[in-house]
């Protein structure tokens, strides 16, 4: 399906002065796509040049259109010496390739079944230079004409829409879940090539940026092919990560869930059934293994023997029991969404995870694929051991230090409904939703004594003592008042060594770290008086001398689970049977398919003393790591509007061997800082908090927090909470007031739902916009930027440098969203933020990877 791309350069504004003698610039533009380059005329002596160029035409294969960003470079013309670069714009063309069949359009007549809609990108885009940041803007118009082509051997996969959203995008209904899709692309990192020694930092950085943009397109295109193979038409819960492996290269991983989505119609289009049929036809067509090389190795071999799993801190070894339902969702029954339509998930068992320590060498993509395959198989077997047929809220994560890499895969084992998810069963009013948290396995089948209790709601099913899940809270589940942020941080010191020794050192330390993390979580959970953690994320960070693990989640008290034990009772409870399992040998036996299992039985009586209760947020703040706010309804508050997306970046030199407590204290302080800064916005909820620990250089500790502030208002109808519950809460609140800092007195909310269009572009890490309705999805955007400076002190220090850079990247993101016709970016993620500096050389470099779904939001009722 070749396409013709037309580009017009209209004007520039606010360009920098490039010619000092005349205080002006002679600007011209180079437009590059693939191997074709065009140039505009030189617009002499103007900082606000007008080009009004003709249409530059590029004829491209659509696979190239998917891979290649359009590169627009502004240059300053110089008669005698080489032309100077002003800066660049990278334009992702994928929004132009979106299928109209999936476009939720304001005008139903404009979306015809299988034609590709020709939208255009047009607007002012910031011109970015890696050494100077944003240097003015350029106004361009880009249009695409695609020719129909039904060649099924094609390499392109346009027409597949990607959503970062962790839930079914607004305006769509889920027809079918096809399963897990992933792709991994490996490339040499330009920064580590020999040529880097002779070229300027600018050209290196630009080479890297260009490469990263291309890899981003390539990964998406390849995933798209797999999605087509599966007969799906979209990817939801899409995540993309860049693993910078230093000298070894760079790995780009994308993962998501292939689904067939249908536009929630509005009975206007009679051909809506045809829309979903179109991709299905392809499904029936022969799959061609030659032209669609899938990156993962064949995993038809099912693991033999017993598998083991970690769930709620207890070990289970269950006999292998093949479950037919596995076949339903692809090779791996993994779903990356964190929230599901009601009735889809039937049971949630608990967290399952697998980790591997690898020594990086000059390997290929295949090697890395096999590593991940190993981990996924392990996760799958853990899920099976829990009699589950799927893993939901699945994520993968890596941390690299020198040549040692820790890979982690984790998710929540669950039993899900059939793959063809058709009807939305309305929850019957008498059902109290507790069923979802009943254990899916038979108590007797376990060789260990487990503490299962009768469900305290329905008195029928069995439930675990506590529950940890990476997913959001299920709809319709009864929660007893409390919720709050819970986190555990463990920092283990290790010897500084190289290569294989280092890998061994790390893998020896891992089990202990996990155990400690888990213990901390359990203690904090009971200290918080809760019995479940939702939205739990565990991430590791490897440094030269430390290994840091941190877990963050939202503690809730589920009505179904047994009432939480108070901290005093805890010790007693623990000493009875708290079993922890680890497969200590897994990392070293890379080839083994059949793993030995060993059991760790630890009675931890002394552990209770390392409880450090995390500072509760001051009044007026609700905090959670999930997208919804578990405690809000309970306090009679509802989210009414988006206030702010924020990024907090903190970096310091740490003492060579920091303790867990120091880092934990630092986390606390960061949170206090955020509360303090937002003091003018209460009552508000801080949702979808994402913490990231990084050790960019030896002895440097970097913590970043990305979150969303949502304004709360008293809901109009008071919930008829039973009186005693309310009393209890009141008592609690008054008692907590003494202990928590109050930055301003309790007051009535001043937040009102947004009336009309919100100013500018709203960026939010949530999949919804409070107080607004997402009308259309305009494309999944992903940006990778590098900024470097060799005059840090002169420009206000490292803080000013990173502040400016993050602000610039946000500005670029907003401009691109505007250019494709959006007014918000949802499901925003910052998946990489890497800041390195050299104080002596007065230099610093920062890498930032952000992304999300560009959408148009309507605020009118």
User: What is the token pair recorded at 661?
Assistant: 């407590």
In the bound state with another protein, the residue whose beta carbon lies nearer, of 333 and 754, is 754
Distance CA 557, CA 365 (A): 44
- Under the binding rule (CB under 8 A), the answer on residue 180 touching another protein is no
Provide the CB-side half-sphere exposure for 520 (13 A, CA): 25
Distance CA 390, CA 340 (A): 13
Minimum gap (Å) between residue 760 Cβ and another protein: 5
| Among 46, 597, 672, 749, contact with another protein (rule: CB under 8 A) | 672
In the bound state with another protein, the residue whose beta carbon lies nearer, of 43 and 810, is 810
User: What is the token pair recorded at 567?
Assistant: 């901290």
Residues from 762 through 791 that contact another protein (CB under 8 A): 762-763
Q: How many CB atoms lie within 10 A of CB 544?
A: 18
In the bound state with another protein, the residue whose beta carbon lies nearer, of 77 and 650, is 650
In the bound state with another protein, the residue whose beta carbon lies nearer, of 91 and 474, is 91
Minimum gap (Å) between residue 797 Cβ and another protein: 8
Minimum gap (Å) between residue 422 Cβ and another protein: 39
CB 774 within 8 A of CB 823: no
- Under the binding rule (CB under 8 A), the answer on residue 814 touching another protein is yes
| Among 673, 731, 732, 752, contact with another protein (rule: CB under 8 A) | 673
Distance CA 95, CA 162 (A): 10
| Among 209, 647, 660, 829, contact with another protein (rule: CB under 8 A) | 647
Helices marked H in 482-578? 499-527, 567-576
- Under the binding rule (CB under 8 A), the answer on residue 666 touching another protein is yes
In the bound state with another protein, the residue whose beta carbon lies nearer, of 285 and 760, is 760
- Which one, of 51, 63, 90, lies nearest residue 221 by Cα? 63
Residue with tokens 């992702």: 92
- Under the binding rule (CB under 8 A), the answer on residue 810 touching another protein is yes
- Under the binding rule (CB under 8 A), the answer on residue 662 touching another protein is yes
Estimate to the nearest angstrom the gap between the alpha carbon of 68 and the chain centroid.
23
| Among 291, 427, 431, 652, contact with another protein (rule: CB under 8 A) | 652
Minimum gap (Å) between residue 824 Cβ and another protein: 10
- Under the binding rule (CB under 8 A), the answer on residue 803 touching another protein is yes
- Under the binding rule (CB under 8 A), the answer on residue 656 touching another protein is no
Name the region of 192 (left: φ>0; alpha: ψ -120 to 50; beta: rest).
alpha
CB 805 within 8 A of CB 844: no
In the bound state with another protein, the residue whose beta carbon lies nearer, of 600 and 655, is 655
Estimate to the nearest angstrom the gap between the alpha carbon of 148 and the chain centroid.
34
Q: What is the secondary structure of 614-677 as a DSSP string?
A: PPPPPTTEEE-SSSS-TTTGGGTEEEEEEEEEEEEEEEEEPPSS--HHHHHHHHHHHHHHHHHH
In the bound state with another protein, the residue whose beta carbon lies nearer, of 580 and 694, is 694
CB 251 within 8 A of CB 318: no
In the bound state with another protein, the residue whose beta carbon lies nearer, of 13 and 729, is 13
User: What is the token pair recorded at 360?
Assistant: 């990086």
Residue with tokens 């952000």: 850
User: What is the token pair recorded at 715?
Assistant: 């809901």
- Under the binding rule (CB under 8 A), the answer on residue 837 touching another protein is yes
User: What is the token pair recorded at 846?
Assistant: 């920062």
Minimum gap (Å) between residue 652 Cβ and another protein: 4
User: Of 319-327, 410-418, 649-657, 684-692, which segment contacts another protein by CB under 8 A?
Assistant: 649-657
Residues from 23 through 62 that contact another protein (CB under 8 A): none
Minimum gap (Å) between residue 127 Cβ and another protein: 11
- Under the binding rule (CB under 8 A), the answer on residue 804 touching another protein is yes
Give the burial class of 326: count Cβ atoms within 10 A of its Cβ; 0-12 exposed, 13-18 middle, 19 or more buried. middle
Minimum gap (Å) between residue 581 Cβ and another protein: 36
Residues from 130 through 159 that contact another protein (CB under 8 A): 134, 137
Residues from 70 through 129 that contact another protein (CB under 8 A): 124, 126
- Under the binding rule (CB under 8 A), the answer on residue 391 touching another protein is no
Distance CA 494, CA 505 (A): 7
Task: Please state, in angstroms and as integers, the Cα–Cα distance from residue 684 to each residue in 43, 480, 730, 746, 753, following that order.
Answer: 50, 20, 19, 12, 13
- Under the binding rule (CB under 8 A), the answer on residue 416 touching another protein is no
- Map residue 497 onto helix, strand or coil: coil
- Under the binding rule (CB under 8 A), the answer on residue 793 touching another protein is no
Task: Please state, in angstroms and as integers, the Cα–Cα distance from residue 745 to each residue in 5, 484, 619, 639, 731, following that order.
Answer: 58, 21, 8, 20, 18
In total, the chain counts a number of residues equal to 861
In the bound state with another protein, the residue whose beta carbon lies nearer, of 415 and 671, is 671
| Among 115, 698, 799, 838, contact with another protein (rule: CB under 8 A) | 799
In the bound state with another protein, the residue whose beta carbon lies nearer, of 593 and 796, is 796
Helices marked H in 528-566? none
The neighbouring-strand residues paired with 691 are 705
Residues 6+ apart with CB under 8 A from 469: 348, 350, 351, 393, 412, 532, 533, 534, 535, 536
In the bound state with another protein, the residue whose beta carbon lies nearer, of 161 and 802, is 802
Minimum gap (Å) between residue 91 Cβ and another protein: 15
Provide the CB-side half-sphere exposure for 29 (13 A, CA): 28
CB 392 within 8 A of CB 414: yes
| Among 299, 365, 608, 815, contact with another protein (rule: CB under 8 A) | 815
Distance CA 115, CA 159 (A): 10
Number of amino acids touching another protein (CB under 8 A)? 56
- Under the binding rule (CB under 8 A), the answer on residue 654 touching another protein is yes
| Among 780, 802, 827, 845, contact with another protein (rule: CB under 8 A) | 802
- Under the binding rule (CB under 8 A), the answer on residue 761 touching another protein is yes
The neighbouring-strand residues paired with 546 are 493
x/- map, 691-730, another protein, by CB under 8 A: ---------xxx----------------------------
Minimum gap (Å) between residue 231 Cβ and another protein: 38
- Which one, of 732, 849, 733, lies nearest residue 787 by Cα? 849
CB 804 within 8 A of CB 132: no
In the bound state with another protein, the residue whose beta carbon lies nearer, of 453 and 807, is 807
x/- map, 601-640, another protein, by CB under 8 A: ----------------------------------------
| Among 674, 710, 712, 774, contact with another protein (rule: CB under 8 A) | 674
In the bound state with another protein, the residue whose beta carbon lies nearer, of 139 and 272, is 139
Residues from 467 through 526 that contact another protein (CB under 8 A): none
- Under the binding rule (CB under 8 A), the answer on residue 800 touching another protein is yes
| Among 19, 646, 728, 775, contact with another protein (rule: CB under 8 A) | 646
Distance CA 336, CA 351 (A): 14
List residues binding another protein (CB under 8 A): 13-14, 124, 126, 134, 137, 644-655, 662, 666, 669, 672-674, 676-677, 680, 700-702, 741-744, 759-763, 796, 798-800, 802-804, 806-808, 810-812, 814-815, 835, 837
């Amino acid at each position: 399906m070749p396409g013709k791309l037309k580009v017009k350069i209209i004007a520039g504004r606010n360009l920098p002065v490039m010619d000092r003698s005349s205080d002006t610039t002679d600007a011209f533009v180079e437009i590059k796509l693939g191997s074709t380059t065009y140039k505009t005329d030189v617009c002499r002596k103007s900082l606000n040049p007008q080009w009004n160029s003709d249409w530059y035409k590029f004829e491209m294969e659509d696979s190239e259109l998917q891979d290649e960003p359009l590169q627009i470079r502004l240059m300053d013309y110089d008669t005698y010496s080489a032309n100077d670069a002003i800066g660049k714009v990278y334009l992702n063309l994928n929004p132009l390739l979106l299928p109209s069949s999936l476009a939720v359009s304001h005008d139903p007549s404009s979306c015809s079944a299988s034609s590709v809609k020709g939208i255009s990108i047009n607007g002012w885009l910031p011109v970015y230079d890696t050494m100077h940041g944003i240097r003015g803007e350029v106004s361009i118009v880009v249009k695409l004409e695609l020719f129909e082509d039904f060649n099924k051997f094609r390499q392109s996969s346009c027409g597949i829409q990607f959503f970062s959203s962790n839930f079914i995008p607004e305006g769509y209904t889920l027809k079918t879940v096809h399963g897990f899709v992933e792709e991994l692309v490996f490339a040499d990192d330009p920064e580590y090539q020999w040529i880097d020694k002779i070229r300027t930092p600018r050209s290196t950085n630009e080479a890297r940026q260009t490469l990263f943009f291309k890899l981003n397109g390539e990964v998406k295109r390849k995933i798209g092919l797999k999605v087509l193979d599966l007969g799906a038409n979209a990817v939801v819960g899409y995540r993309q990560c860049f693993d910078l492996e230093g000298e070894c290269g760079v790995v780009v991983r994308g993962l998501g869930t292939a689904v067939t989505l249908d536009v929630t119609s509005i009975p206007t289009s009679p051909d809506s059934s045809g829309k979903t049929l179109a991709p299905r036809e392809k499904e029936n067509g022969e799959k061609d293994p030659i032209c669609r090389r899938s990156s993962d190795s064949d995993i038809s071999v099912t693991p033999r023997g017993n598998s083991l799993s970690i769930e709620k801190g207890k070990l289970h070894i269950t006999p292998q029991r093949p479950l037919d339902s596995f076949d339903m969702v692809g090779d791996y029954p993994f779903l990356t969404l964190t929230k599901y339509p009601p009735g889809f998930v039937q049971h949630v068992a608990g967290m399952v995870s697998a980790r591997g320590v690898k020594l990086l060498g000059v390997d290929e993509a295949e090697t890395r694929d096999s590593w991940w395959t190993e981990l996924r198989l392990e996760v799958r077997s853990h899920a099976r051991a829990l009699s589950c047929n799927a893993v939901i809220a699945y994520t993968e994560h890596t941390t690299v230090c020198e040549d040692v890499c820790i890979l982690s895969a984790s998710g929540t084992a669950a039993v899900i409904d059939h793959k063809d998810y058709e009807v939305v069963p309305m929850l019957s009013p008498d059902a109290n939703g507790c069923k979802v948290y009943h254990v899916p396995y038979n108590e007797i089948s376990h060789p260990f004594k487990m503490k299962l209790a009768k469900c305290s709601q329905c008195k029928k099913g069995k439930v675990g003592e506590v529950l940890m899940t990476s997913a959001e809270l299920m709809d319709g589940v009864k929660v007893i008042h409390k919720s709050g942020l819970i986190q555990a941080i463990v920092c283990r010191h290790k010897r500084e060594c190289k290569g294989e020794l280092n890998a061994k050192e790390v893998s020896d330390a891992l089990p202990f770290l996990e155990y400690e993390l888990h213990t901390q979580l359990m203690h904090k959970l009971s200290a918080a008086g809760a019995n479940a953690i939702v939205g739990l994320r565990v991430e590791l960070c490897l440094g030269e001398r430390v290994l840091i693990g941190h877990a963050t989640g939202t503690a809730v008290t589920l009505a179904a689970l047994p009432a939480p034990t108070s901290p005093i009772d805890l010790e007693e409870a623990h000493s009875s049977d708290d079993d922890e399992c680890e497969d200590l040998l897994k990392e070293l036996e890379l080839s083994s398919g059949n793993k030995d299992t060993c059991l760790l039985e630890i009675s931890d009586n002394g552990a209770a003393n390392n409880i450090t209760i995390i500072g509760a947020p001051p009044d007026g703040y609700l905090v959670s790591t999930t997208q919804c706010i578990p405690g809000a309804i309970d306090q009679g508050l509802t989210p009414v509007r988006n206030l702010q997306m924020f990024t907090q970046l903190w970096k310091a030199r740490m003492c060579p061997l920091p303790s867990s407590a120091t880092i934990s204290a630092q986390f606390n302080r960061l949170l206090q800082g955020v509360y303090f800064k937002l003091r003018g916005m209460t009552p508000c909820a801080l949702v979808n908090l994402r913490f990231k620990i990084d050790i960019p250089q030896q002895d440097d500790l970097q913590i970043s927090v990305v979150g969303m502030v949502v304004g709360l208002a008293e809901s109009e109808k008071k919930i008829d909470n039973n009186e005693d519950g309310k009393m209890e809460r009141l008592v609690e609140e008054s008692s907590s007031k003494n202990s928590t800092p109050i930055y301003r007195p309790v007051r009535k909310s001043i937040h009102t739902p947004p009336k009309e269009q919100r100013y500018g572009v709203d960026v939010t890490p949530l999949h919804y916009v409070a107080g607004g309705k997402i009308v259309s999805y305009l494309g999944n955007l992903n940006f990778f930027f590098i900024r470097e400076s060799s005059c840090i002190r002169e420009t206000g220090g490292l803080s000013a440098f990173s502040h400016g850079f993050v602000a610039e990247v946000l500005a670029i993101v907003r401009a691109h969203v505007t250019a494709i016709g959006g007014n918000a970016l949802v499901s925003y993620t910052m998946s990489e933020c890497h800041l390195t500096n050299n104080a002596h050389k007065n230099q610093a470099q920062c890498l930032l990877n952000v992304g999300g779904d560009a959408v148009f939001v309507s605020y009118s009722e």
